[in-house]
Amino acid sequence: MHDTSSLEYSLTATVCLEPKRVLQLRQIVSVEDFSVPACAAVFDAADSAVSRGKAFDANIAADGLRSAVDDPRRFLADCIDATPTLANAEEYARLLHRHAAEKRLRDGVLAALDEENPAAAVAEVCKAHLLNSTGGRLKTISQALIETMSQLSARETQRINTGFPLLDSKLKGFEAGQLVIIGARPGVGKSAFLLDIAESAARAGNETLFVSLEMSAAELTERLLARRSAATMDQLIDRNVESNWDSIAAASTRLERLPLHFWDKPAATVSKIRGAAATIQNLRLIVIDYLGLMQADCRADSRNLELGQISRDLKNLASELQIPIVAAAQLNRGVSDTERPTLLSLRDSGELEQNGSKVLFLWKIDEFGTVGVSVAKNRRGRQGVVQMRFDGEHQRFTELSKSRKKSRGAADFWRMAHEPKNPAANCNRLWRPTIQGIRAVAVLQGRSRRKVPESGASAFSSCDSCPCKAAR
């Protein structure tokens, strides 16, 4: 029995009990590194099944080993019994790969000594070993093109969109292995924004896990009902829903069919999230609200180091599961909720910026619900800003089209000017200095053919307490 057989048994047990971990393990070790044929067969079968989104476990593995060993179930049970812990699987893979590489080097050198020119043959063997030990494999342009074309053909099915067309045109979607950071100050609406993304992904048929460290599953469900029914959040919280019960029931029927899973776990760790993810077959997206409430698997000397470790582990988890992970993060206290954040605004750890494949920021543009969404880092797309409207009563975001951002109706301007506590100041600020305000006044004076809702015109006409009266 080879010295490495215990490592192979442990890796076999790992892919049988936690099949999705094969996606991370295959980046460290290959089937060629196994010396036990049955272990190599199980690892290869797990890799093939998980890559295609198929189920895999010990029973499926045993069925495929019937021709390789006399008693497949006994063999797999021995592998599981010989494994002290699954937590060290990555280290087992590194050790196995190193031992296999050393064996290939020894065998290659011994074979080279029998050649006519042993010195040159040994040199070639050593060169090949050095190339493989750098972590990558030497590829021809033909091999690289085949791999790239294969990825391109599958890209549309692998991408997860946010559900906001203007934002998606910049982001180019979320792809497998990416960690996406979304930063905002409290009260801007980042939880609602995350729920928007999760719901959109689920509506597209993607199995989605929403990890909430701040709100319960019931609270998240209330927000979904407010988004998809006529009831407001206040009505749902106060249980004043009689008048909107039919709308709520219809929304509930539509929502219950979504492949959306909630996991409300306070002080969750990456390893616990990995365990929750393992229970969902064909998982395509994880959304975490939010990083600041997570705990590191191993305590560090400072919170900065802990958050750095958490973000690295989440990045590795995204690569391991071959899915994107979207996580919210808070900003530094010195950043106002009306100030456009930068990458330096991320709280507690600069590693969030480094580990994030994409970084987005949310901030308030005005007090009327306009929110800016900035794409500050984007390795596979464009940067830029998209303006959205946040409806707090229904906890939902909608994109503002370019035409809508450039022009507002008279009724909208009157409402924006007079709803706040100080209408006179707002009239001066919103109406008088703007082209839109001048046009709106003309409409209300009857000097324009633009149609204005009667409610807006009558409300404006009744405004006798502010300077806009002079404009009439």
pLDDT digits (tens, 9 = 90+) for 343-387: 887 865 567 777 888 999 999 888 788 899 999 888 877 888 999
Q: What six digits make up the tokens of 422?
A: 């100080």
Q: Is the pLDDT of residue 457 over 60?
A: no
Across residues 232-241, what is the average pLDDT?
86
For residue 418, name the pLDDT band (cuts at 50, 70, 90): very low
Please give the radius of gyration of the chain, using alpha carbons only, rounded to the nearest integer. Answer: 29
User: Fold for domain 158-405?
Assistant: Rossmann fold (3.40.50)
**Nearest Cα to Cα of residue 137 among 292, 282, 30, 24:** 30
Task: List alpha helices for 238-302, DSSP H.
Answer: 245-255, 270-278
Q: Answer with the residue of higher pLDDT: 108 or 251.
A: 251
pLDDT of residue 465: 46
CB-based contacts of 149: which residues, under 8 Å, 6+ apart? Answer: none
For residue 10, name the pLDDT band (cuts at 50, 70, 90): very high
pLDDT of residue 434: 44
Of the given ranges (132-146, 192-206, 455-469), which has the lowest mean pLDDT? 455-469
Q: Is the pLDDT of residue 298 over 60?
A: yes
pLDDT of residue 152: 64
The domain segmentation of the chain, as residue ranges, is 5-133, 158-405, 407-471
Q: Vertex 210, ends 208 and 211: CA angle to 5°?
A: 140
Q: Is the pLDDT of residue 4 over 70?
A: yes
SS3 378: strand
Q: Answer with the residue of higher pLDDT: 427 or 59.
A: 59
Choices 3.30.2130.10, 1.10.860.10, 1.20.120.420, 1.10.3720.10: CATH for 5-133: 1.10.860.10
Across residues 394-400, what is the average pLDDT?
87
The pLDDT tens digits for 18-35 are 988 887 788 788 888 898
Q: What six digits make up the tokens of 368?
A: 């009327």
| pTM given for the model | 0.59
Q: Give the CB-side neighbour count of residue 260, counting CA atoms within 13 A.
A: 23
Q: Is the pLDDT of residue 453 over 80?
A: no
Residue located via tokens 């593995």: 61
pLDDT of residue 151: 61
CA distances to 184, 220, 452 from 232, rounded to whole Å, are 24, 14, 27
pLDDT of residue 154: 53
**Nearest Cα to Cα of residue 18 among 323, 310, 278:** 278
CB-based contacts of 44: which residues, under 8 Å, 6+ apart? Answer: 31
Of the given ranges (236-240, 276-280, 359-363, 464-468), which has the lowest mean pLDDT? 464-468
The answer to whether the beta carbons of residues 258 and 202 sit under 8 Å apart is yes
Name the average pLDDT for the chain.
78
Task: List alpha helices for 363-409, DSSP H.
Answer: 402-406
For residue 196, name the pLDDT band (cuts at 50, 70, 90): very high
Q: What six digits make up the tokens of 117?
A: 């020119």
For residue 147, name the pLDDT band (cuts at 50, 70, 90): low
Q: Is the pLDDT of residue 171 over 80?
A: yes
SS3 15: helix
Q: Answer with the residue of higher pLDDT: 158 or 446.
A: 158
The answer to whether the beta carbons of residues 211 and 288 sit under 8 Å apart is yes
The answer to whether the beta carbons of residues 50 and 20 sit under 8 Å apart is yes
Rounded CA-CA distance 173/439 in Å is: 40
158-405 and 5-133 share a CATH fold: no
Of the given ranges (83-97, 347-361, 422-436), which has the lowest mean pLDDT? 422-436
pLDDT of residue 325: 94
Q: What six digits make up the tokens of 191?
A: 């939880």
**Nearest Cα to Cα of residue 46 among 33, 35, 36, 59:** 59
Best-predicted range by mean pLDDT among 110-119, 126-135, 153-162, 396-405? 110-119
